[in-house]
């Protein structure tokens, strides 16, 4: 028995010793300037979607216009030149994966903006929905996956914008909600369980809340919230614990917090947060644990941090207490990591900085820009989780907008993107994209123009044991041999990272 315990201890020590020590410094940033080398800009990663181990995006190599490219960081290549007209570009966008294909909108030289797809090898016009005059555009948009189907809005005629779907084999209009040439103009597409929710106008009720299970009979008006008149909506919606939460003005209470379970009886206002006939205008819905967090204005504190579990709705913290507490902290960019919700908030002493809450304690994480007595703003944006860190873009007041990161202990570090006058950012929704253990960064510099870079985050996961010759795999081979002699079994773990 003593010998077995000694062997077990020895094996454990060997196993611990075999794990490589992770670097504690900021990961190295690698700039990729292969699409349009030199000072010209390709505008890569200004919109991207993942399929397999690659990010797909539109980029301009200076010759073809904006066309379809992909990268995993190590390999970057053009997938297809869709619009063969010289320098025209197909301007692919809206990338959304369904099964083994990535769907998107693009325009070739003959069909206009239509539905395309690629699997990385084959890129094809998938559906020419608007064939009016041969060059009409259906402009498919708001791609949303529900089960095995991809839903989107599209125009079949000149103005007949309705809800469509495809499973990669069958493509059809879900329902002609507003018949004839008007179109219901569905928007706000959001999946909740097996249903797709959206707002649409049927020509009778005005713009109201609908849902569908993909069938004609299963496409129904959920509730005419503002009976006889059109409801006014704030987007986007949020799915949370089987409900759809949303911001709507019913004509009586102003823009307030509502939710629905899909039935008319189960569609109701959660809370009249600003009950003085004003608008609380809730937005930024983000789940953390059993709560849905958001920003709202109760008419007393300005726009501050709130949360709800569907039963209780409460102010989490009045962060900006200046002017008697009525000034906004205007929190946004909510991102969850390890039991905390991180966000950008303004407070009169420190400016707009990075904050976090666990629902009980809400505090400033770090005053990154300390100029002007600490009241300068670092304006943290594009919060993105990767490994044990939260990455974001911010300025310390002396340098431009650079890449920063912070862990759940509050440790903060930053690095400048290589290049002269270099910075992170783009005229796009998100300049940061995480894929497995790699962070992709839309950036610019005098030397490269607007291109992209990437880094590998070592805390994303343990190194793969299937990498021949690595310290980890070599140690495990030795460990396996020892345990085999001792009659002890060992199962080796495989991992895959791009």
Q: How confident is the model at residue 429 (pLDDT cuts 50, 70, 90)?
A: confident
Dihedral of CA atoms 243, 246, 250, 252 in degrees, nearest 10, equals: 100
pLDDT on residue 496: 38
pLDDT on residue 16: 42
The per-residue pLDDT for range 31-83, each reduced to its tens digit, is 999 999 999 999 999 999 999 999 999 999 999 999 999 999 999 999 999 99
CB 367 within 8 A of CB 346: no
CB 66 within 8 A of CB 59: yes
Q: Which residues pair with 78 in a beta bridge?
A: 69
Distance CA 306, CA 314 (A): 6
Where do we find the tokens 């943290």? 380
Read off the pTM.
0.87
The Cα diameter of the chain in Å comes to 86
pLDDT on residue 6: 52
Phi, psi of 197 (to 5 degrees): -105, 150
pLDDT on residue 148: 97
The per-residue pLDDT for range 305-363, each reduced to its tens digit, is 999 999 999 999 999 998 776 789 999 999 999 999 999 999 999 999 999 999 999 99
Mean confidence (pLDDT) of the chain: 88
Average pLDDT over residues 210-230: 95
Q: How confident is the model at residue 289 (pLDDT cuts 50, 70, 90)?
A: very high
- The percentage of the chain sitting over the pLDDT mark of 70, rounded to a whole number, equals 86
pLDDT surpasses 90 at 144: yes
125-134, 217-226, 290-299, 417-426: least confident range: 125-134
Q: How confident is the model at residue 18 (pLDDT cuts 50, 70, 90)?
A: very low
Distance CA 325, CA 323 (A): 5
pLDDT on residue 467: 35
Dihedral of CA atoms 252, 257, 258, 259 in degrees, nearest 10, equals: 180
Burial category of 299 from C-beta neighbours within 10 Å (exposed 0-12, middle 13-18, buried 19 and up)? middle
Average pLDDT over residues 469-496: 42
Q: Which residues pair with 183 in a beta bridge?
A: 161
- Both structure tokens of 338: 């390890």
- Which residues, at least 6 apart from 133, have a Cβ–Cβ distance to it below 8 Å? none
Q: Strands 207-212 and 123-127: what pairing?
A: unpaired
133: number of Cβ within 10 Å = 8
Distance CA 307, CA 229 (A): 30
The per-residue pLDDT for range 308-323, each reduced to its tens digit, is 999 999 999 999 998 7
CB 243 within 8 A of CB 193: no
Phi, psi of 239 (to 5 degrees): -90, 130
Distance CA 451, CA 187 (A): 32
Rg, the chain, Cα only: 26
Distance CA 339, CA 347 (A): 23
pLDDT on residue 373: 74
pLDDT on residue 276: 74
Distance CA 460, CA 462 (A): 7
- Of 246 and 488, the one with more pLDDT: 246
């Amino acid at each position: 028995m003593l010998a077995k315990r000694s062997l077990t201890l020895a094996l454990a020590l060997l196993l611990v010793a075999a794990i490589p020590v992770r670097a504690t410094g900021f990961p190295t940033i690698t700039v990729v300037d292969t699409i349009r080398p030199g000072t010209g800009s390709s505008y890569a990663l200004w919109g991207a979607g993942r399929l397999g181990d690659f990010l797909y995006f539109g980029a301009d190599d200076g010759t073809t216009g904006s066309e379809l490219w992909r990268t995993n960081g190590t390999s970057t290549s053009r997938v297809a030149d869709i619009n063969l007209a010289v320098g025209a570009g197909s301007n692919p966008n809206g990338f959304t994966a369904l099964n083994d294909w990535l769907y998107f909108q693009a325009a070739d030289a003959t069909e206009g903006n239509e539905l395309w797809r690629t699997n990385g090898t084959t890129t094809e016009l998938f559906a020419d929905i608007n064939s009016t005059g041969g060059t009409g555009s259906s402009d498919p948009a708001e791609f949303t996956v529900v089960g095995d189907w991809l839903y989107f809005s599209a125009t079949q005629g000149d103005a007949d914008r309705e809800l469509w779907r495809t499973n990669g084999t069958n493509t059809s209009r879900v329902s002609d909600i507003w018949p004839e040439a008007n179109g219901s103009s569905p928007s706000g597409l959001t999946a909740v369980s097996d249903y797709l929710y959206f707002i649409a106008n049927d020509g009778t009720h005005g713009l109201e809340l609908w849902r569908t299970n993909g069938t004609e009979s299963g496409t129904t008006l959920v509730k005419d919230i503002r009976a006889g008149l059109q409801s006014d909506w704030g987007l986007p919606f949020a799915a949370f614990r089987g409900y759809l939460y949303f911001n709507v003005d019913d004509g009586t209470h102003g823009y307030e917090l509502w939710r629905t379970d899909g039935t008319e009886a189960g569609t109701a206002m959660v809370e009249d947060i600003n009950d003085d006939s004003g608008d609380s205008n809730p937005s930024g819905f983000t789940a953390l644990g059993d709560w849905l967090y958001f920003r709202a204005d109760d008419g007393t504190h300005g726009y501050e941090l709130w949360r709800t579990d569907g039963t209780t709705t409460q102010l989490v913290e009045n962060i900006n207490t200046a002017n008697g507490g009525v000034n906004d902290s205007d929190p946004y960019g909510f991102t969850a990591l390890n039991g905390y919700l991180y966000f950008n908030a303004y407070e009169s002493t420190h400016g707009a900085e990075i904050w976090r809450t666990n629902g009980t304690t809400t505090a400033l994480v770090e005053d990154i820009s300390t100029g002007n007595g600490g009241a300068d703003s670092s304006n943290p944006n594009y919060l993105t989780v990767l490994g044990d860190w939260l990455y974001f873009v911010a300025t310390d007041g002396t340098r431009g907008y650079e890449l920063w990161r912070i862990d759940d202990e509050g440790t903060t570090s930053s690095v400048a993107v290589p290049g002269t006058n270099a910075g992170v950012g783009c005229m796009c929704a998100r300049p940061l994209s995480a894929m497995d253990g790699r962070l992709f960064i839309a950036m610019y510099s005098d030397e490269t123009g607007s291109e992209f870079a990437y880094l590998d985050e070592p805390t994303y996961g343990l190194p793969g044991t299937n990498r021949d010759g690595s310290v980890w795999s070599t140690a495990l081979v030795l460990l396996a041999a020892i345990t085999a002699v001792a009659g002890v079994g060992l199962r080796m773990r495989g991992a895959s990272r791009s």
